[in-house]
Amino acid sequence: MQRITAFVAAAMMTAGLVSAPAMAQDQNTTDSGSQAQAPAKNFSDEQLQQFADASQNIAMISQDYTEQLQNASEEGEQQKIRQQANDEMVDAVKDSGMSVEQFNSIGQAIQQDPQLMQRVKGMVQQPQQ
C-alpha cells in the first residue's frame, strides 16, 4: 500500500506551496535507496502541471486533517486520522494522472532546483478549471 509520509510537509505547502512537497512511499518497498537522487529537469510541462494540481489538492487535504489531528486526544485516534489523510493524499496524486513515484521524483527535483520550483509555482498560480 502506498502512503504519503510527510503529512506535516503537506501542511507547510499551504503557506509556501511546493517549498516542502509531500513525499509518498510504497510501504512494500524496503530498499528504495536507488530513488534517492531525482533526475534533473526531465519533466514535461504536463507532468509539472499534474504535480502542481496534486500539490494543491494535498494542501487542502492537509488543512482539513491537521485540524482534526489537533483535536484528537488519543494516539489511536491520531493514527487513524493520519492514515485517512495519507490515503486521501495518495488518491489526490493518482487522480492528477501521475504515480506516487513520479510525484516524489518531481518533488525531489524541485527541492534541488530553484528554477524548476519557480516553474511549478507559476503553474500553481494558474487556475485549471
In whole angstroms, what separates CA 122 from the centre of its chain? 17
pLDDT at 124: 79
pLDDT, tens digit, for every residue of 14-40? 334 333 334 444 444 434 443 444 445
C-alpha cell of residue 84 = 485517512
DSSP-derived letter for residue 2 is: E
Which SS3 state, helix, strand or coil, does residue 19 take? coil
Whether the per-residue pLDDT at 121 is higher than 50: the answer is: yes
Percent of the chain exceeding pLDDT 90 equals: 46
pLDDT, tens digit, for every residue of 79-112? 999 999 999 999 999 999 999 999 989 999 998 9
pLDDT at 26: 41
For residues 98 and 57, the answer to whether their CB atoms sit within 8 Å is no
What's at 70, amino acid-wise?
A: Q
pTM of the model: 0.67
Say how far apart CA 123 and CA 89 lie, in whole Å. Answer: 20
Instruction: Scan for cell 494558474, then name that residue.
Output: 126
| Domain ranges across the chain | 45-129
